[in-house]
Chains A and B, each alone.
Chain A
C-alpha cells in the first residue's frame, strides 16, 4: 500500500516536474539542437589558426623570399589583406558570398554590415555553430586568398595600386566565385563540384590571378640579369611551418564541427604535406644534386595546397599519393616551366598555388570516396567518372574567372594609378620608396627631424631628401 502510494507520488512528481520543461521545450530544443559547444570551440580555434596562416605565416614566407630591400613591402601586402578584407568582408563581402542567392550567381546584400548574421546558427551552412562563427571562419579564407596573389607581383607593385586591387579583386572576383562554389544555390555547388576547403576558390583563383598580374605588371627590373635570391631562408622556413600549422584549421576546420570528418581532414592534410615535401626534395636532389631547405618548405606548401580541395573526401593513402605527385608537379612548374617561359612570378604564387590547386581539384575527382564523407561523392577510382568531369568544369571556370577578372581590374586601376614601381624605385627598394622604412637598420647615422625640428637647418635638409640613390 505504502509502496503503491510512493509509485503514484513519484509518477505525479515526475509529471509535475516535466510541465515547465515541456513549456520550455520549444526554446530548449532549438538551442540544444543547434549550438554545439564542441563544434563552436573547434571552429573558433580553427579560425584563429587560419588567421595565423596569413600573419605572420605567409608574411614571413614571402618576406624571407624577397630581397632585403623589399621585405617590408612584401609583408605589408599580407598585413593589409588582413586589415582591409576583414572590413570589406563584414560590410559587403560576406553578404555577396553567402547571402541569399540571386540567380545562382551572387549573394544579395541582405546581410550587408552583418545584418541578420547573429548568434543563431544558419542551418544552410553550419547547423551547430553560431552564424557569426561561420562568418568569421570564412573571413580568414577571404583574407588569405588575395594575400597569396601578392607573391606573384612582389617587389614591384606600388602600394596604392595594391590597395585598390585588393578591394576590387575581393569584391568582383573572390566573392562571386565563393558564392558559386559554396553559397546555397551557387551554380557550381549545384553542379556537384567538390571543393572541401577551397582548392578552387582560394588556390586556383589566387594562383592564376597571380600569373595574370605578373604578366600585366611585367618583369622586375633586372630579372634574369641580377641575382634575385631569398634574403632570409630561416624566415621562409618559419613562415612555411606556420602555414602548415595553420592549415589544420583551414582544412580540418572546414568540417565545421568537432567530429570524425575533421579528424580525417587533419590526418590527410598532414600526410599529403609530408609526402609533397619529400617528393619535391627528392626531385630537386636528383635534378640539381642537393636537397635544399627551401625545397622542403616549398614542397610542404605545395602539398598543403594540393590536399586542400580533397581533404574532406579522401583516405590517408590517397592523400600520400596526392602529395607525392603534387610536390613533383609544382617543382617542375617552378624550376623548369617558369624559366622556359620567362614570366616573373616572383615568389611562385602561380607555380605552387595555381598548379598545386589545379592538381588538387583534379585529384579530388580521382580519389574522392563516400566512405570518408557520405555527403561528398565517389571519384573516378571509385567508379564515378562523372565526378572528374565536374571537377574539370570547376577548374576551367575558376581559371577563366581569374584570368578575365584580374586582367580587367588591373587595367582599370592602371588608368587611375600606376601599377608598377619605376625602375629607380625598384633599385632603391619598395621598403623605402613605398613605406619610408628600412627593415634592417644595422648602422644608422642621421638625426631626428620632427622632435628637434625647431632647428631650421635640419628642417631644410628634410625637404631635399627625395632620394636619387
Chain B
C-alpha cells in the first residue's frame, strides 16, 4: 500500500477529485493548508502598511491506494492539477505498513 499526499492549488481541487472519482479512488482526506515553495508570496496592504504574505493557501489531499495503482493515480492527479505555472504543487508518496477498517477489522488492501 502507498500513501499519496499532494499539495494543490485550491482552485484545482474539484478537478482532481472528479478525475480520481472517475478512476475509482473514492476515499481521500482533504485539508486546507498554507505553505511556500518556488512560488512567491503576495503583498497585502492594511492601512497603508504593506505586508508580504509568503505563505499561500493551498489544499492538501491524502489517500492510501494499492501499490499497483500508484503510477496511474499520480498521472491522473498531475494532469488534473497542472496549469504549467509556478505554484501547481507537489505529490509525495510513502510506503504504508498496514490499514485497518475499524468497523469490521479488515486489514490491508481490503480495508482501503
Residues of A whose CB lies within 8 Å of any CB of B are 222, 225-226, 427-428, 432, 436-438, 443-451, 458, 461-462, 464-469
Question: Closest residue to B11 on the A side, CB-wise?
Answer: A427
Is there contact, CB below 8 Å, between B44 and A438?
A: yes
Is there contact, CB below 8 Å, between A445 and B34?
A: yes
Do A449 and B9 form a contact, CB below 8 Å, given A225-B14, A468-B85, A469-B57?
no
Residues of B whose CB lies within 8 Å of any CB of A are 9-11, 14, 34, 39-46, 48-57, 85-87
Q: Can you pick out 19 interface pairs between chain A and chain B where the beta carbons lie within 8 Å of each other?
A: A222-B11, A222-B14, A225-B14, A226-B14, A427-B11, A432-B44, A436-B43, A436-B45, A437-B46, A445-B34, A446-B41, A458-B52, A461-B40, A461-B41, A467-B40, A468-B85, A468-B87, A469-B56, A469-B87
Interface majority SS (helix, strand, loop, mixed), chain A: loop
Is there contact, CB below 8 Å, between B53 and A462?
A: no
- Closest Cβ–Cβ distance, residue A449 to chain B (whole Å): 4
- The contact of B56 among A226, A436, A466, A467, by CB within 8 Å, is A467
Complex Cα distance A450/B52, Å?
10
- Closest Cβ–Cβ distance, residue A448 to chain B (whole Å): 6
Is there contact, CB below 8 Å, between B52 and A451?
A: no
Complex Cα distance A443/B10, Å?
16
Is there contact, CB below 8 Å, between A465 and B40?
A: yes
Is there contact, CB below 8 Å, between B52 and A462?
A: yes
- Closest Cβ–Cβ distance, residue A166 to chain B (whole Å): 23
Complex Cα distance A184/B89, Å?
64
Question: Closest residue to B53 on the A side, CB-wise?
Answer: A446
Question: Closest residue to B58 on the A side, CB-wise?
Answer: A469
- Closest Cβ–Cβ distance, residue A460 to chain B (whole Å): 10
Is there contact, CB below 8 Å, between A450 and B49?
A: yes
Question: Closest residue to B87 on the A side, CB-wise?
Answer: A468
Is there contact, CB below 8 Å, between A450 and B50?
A: yes
Give chain B residues whose Cβ lies under 8 Å from the Cβ of A438: 44, 53
- Closest Cβ–Cβ distance, residue B21 to chain A (whole Å): 13
- The contact of B52 among A432, A437, A465, A466, by CB within 8 Å, is A465
Give chain A residues whose Cβ lies under 8 Å from the Cβ of B41: 446, 461, 465
- Closest Cβ–Cβ distance, residue B59 to chain A (whole Å): 11
Question: Closest residue to A442 on the B side, CB-wise?
Answer: B34
Question: Closest residue to B34 on the A side, CB-wise?
Answer: A443
Give chain B residues whose Cβ lies under 8 Å from the Cβ of A451: 49
- The contact of A445 among B40, B44, B46, B54, by CB within 8 Å, is B54
Complex Cα distance A443/B40, Å?
17
Complex Cα distance A437/B48, Å?
12
Is there contact, CB below 8 Å, between B14 and A444?
A: no
Nearest 4 pairs of A and B residues by beta carbon? A427-B11, A449-B50, A446-B53, A467-B42
Give chain A residues whose Cβ lies under 8 Å from the Cβ of B53: 438, 444-446
Give chain B residues whose Cβ lies under 8 Å from the Cβ of A226: 14
Is there contact, CB below 8 Å, between A448 and B14?
A: no
Complex Cα distance A68/B1, Å?
37
Is there contact, CB below 8 Å, between B14 and A465?
A: no
Do A445 and B39 form a contact, CB below 8 Å, given A437-B44, A462-B50, A469-B9?
no
Complex Cα distance A444/B36, Å?
12
Complex Cα distance A126/B6, Å?
67
- Closest Cβ–Cβ distance, residue B19 to chain A (whole Å): 13
Give chain B residues whose Cβ lies under 8 Å from the Cβ of A428: 11
Give chain A residues whose Cβ lies under 8 Å from the Cβ of B40: 461, 464-465, 467
Give chain B residues whose Cβ lies under 8 Å from the Cβ of A225: 14
- The contact of A448 among B10, B11, B39, B51, by CB within 8 Å, is B51
The residue among A222, A438, A446, A447 with the most chain B CB atoms within 10 A of its own CB is A446
Give chain B residues whose Cβ lies under 8 Å from the Cβ of A446: 41, 51-55
Is there contact, CB below 8 Å, between A468 and B50?
A: no
Complex Cα distance A464/B46, Å?
19
Is there contact, CB below 8 Å, between B51 and A447?
A: yes
Give chain B residues whose Cβ lies under 8 Å from the Cβ of A468: 39, 85-87
Complex Cα distance A445/B34, Å?
9
Is there contact, CB below 8 Å, between A461 and B52?
A: yes
- Closest Cβ–Cβ distance, residue B83 to chain A (whole Å): 8
Beyond the given A438-B44, A465-B40, please list 13 additional residue pairs across the A-B interface where CB-CB is below 8 A.
A226-B14, A436-B44, A444-B53, A446-B51, A446-B55, A448-B50, A448-B52, A458-B52, A465-B52, A468-B86, A469-B11, A469-B39, A469-B56
Question: Closest residue to A446 on the B side, CB-wise?
Answer: B53
Do A465 and B43 form a contact, CB below 8 Å, given A443-B34, A446-B51?
yes
Give chain A residues whose Cβ lies under 8 Å from the Cβ of B42: 432, 465-467, 469
Complex Cα distance A432/B10, Å?
15
- Closest Cβ–Cβ distance, residue A70 to chain B (whole Å): 13
Question: Closest residue to A423 on the B side, CB-wise?
Answer: B11
Do A448 and B49 form a contact, CB below 8 Å, given A222-B14, A465-B42, A468-B87?
yes
